[in-house]
Amino acid sequence: MHKKAYFDEKAGNWDSLIQDEVILRLKTMVEELALPQGSKVLDLGTGTGVLIPMLIEAVGLSGGIVAIDFAPQMLAEAQKKYQWPNLEFMEGNAEDIPLADQAVDEVVCNSAFPHFDDLRKAAQEMFRVLKNGGRVSVLHPHSREYINDLHASLGGAVKNCMIPHADVMQAIFSEAGFENITIENVTQRYLLIGRKVSI
Ligand SMILES: C[S@@+](CC[C@H](N)C(=O)[O-])C[C@H]1O[C@@H](n2cnc3c(N)ncnc32)[C@H](O)[C@@H]1O
């Protein structure tokens, strides 16, 4: 089964699979990002919009959120739950993001990066849509090892969806143009941050 069909099939049930503890961990991670009030954020691979209320809280009424996913059923679940004046949903692929150059201040990508078929292209697209000075945050509420073992054990469409080793992640993001790249990989979180300094 193709990955898009895999996620569409899971959409109706997705939220029931997310534990409260994981939501709390994500809240903490988003708070630590300290997204500036008023900033425009791309939630790439938004799924059922798990991050959306946290992003709304962070950016406030003067901010904006674009939530993109390639699986229409996942997006439909997110749309059922969240309506907000400055929240826009778009169906689109991370490897060909349907946004203009320099459209957003922040890209956040929770639990989606290893699912993209071409990781290098996705990182280049994140760089392209960010404004100068913008930041990318690739996050998971689990360690890299946990995620990779989980995907291997689930098998099927996600069996090869792996977070590469830190050296490879550094290379992917620096070759895409990002600077000041940091990677944190501990038991209950994975967080890569990179900055688009200037072009
Ligand atoms: C594991 S889910 C995570 C969803 C959400 N971010 C969350 O925290 O629950 C991965 C999401 O990435 C989306 N996705 C996978 N590959 C994609 C791609 N190439 N472009 C856009 N979205 C993609 C899937 O449809 C799915 O909704």
pLDDT category, 55, cuts 50, 70, 90?
Answer: very high
Pocket test for ligand 1, best of 2, 3, 7 (most atoms within 8 A of CB): 7
115 CA distance to ligand 1 middle (Å): 7
Q: What value does the mean pLDDT take over residues 5-24?
A: 95
Average pLDDT over the chain reads 97
Does 35 map to a domain?
no
pLDDT over threshold 60, residue 199: no
In the prediction, which pLDDT does 93 show? 98
Does 101 map to a domain?
yes
Does 16 map to a domain?
no
Does 75 map to a domain?
yes
- For 132, counting Cβ atoms within 10 Å of its Cβ (0-12 exposed, 13-18 middle, 19+ buried), the class is exposed
In the prediction, which pLDDT does 191 show? 98
133: left (phi over 0), alpha (psi -120 to 50) or beta: left
49 CA distance to ligand 1 middle (Å): 10
61-114: per-residue pLDDT in tens? 999 999 999 999 999 999 999 999 999 999 999 999 999 999 999 999 999 999
In the prediction, which pLDDT does 126 show? 98
Contact by Cβ (8 Å): 46, 71 = no
Does 157 map to a domain?
yes
CATH of the domain at 48: 3.40.50.150
- Closest Cα to atom 10, ligand 1: which residue? 112
Domains of the chain: total: 1
Q: What residues does ligand 1 touch, defined as CB less than 6 Å away? A: 3, 7, 45-47, 50-51, 69-71, 74, 93-95, 110-112, 115-116
CA atoms of 62 and 154, how far apart (whole Å): 41
Does 86 map to a domain?
yes
Q: Which domain holds residue 73?
A: 3-11+21-29+41-195
115-158: per-residue pLDDT in tens? 999 999 999 999 999 999 999 999 999 999 999 999 999 999 99
pTM greater than the 0.85 cutoff: yes
Contact by Cβ (8 Å): 93, 99 = no
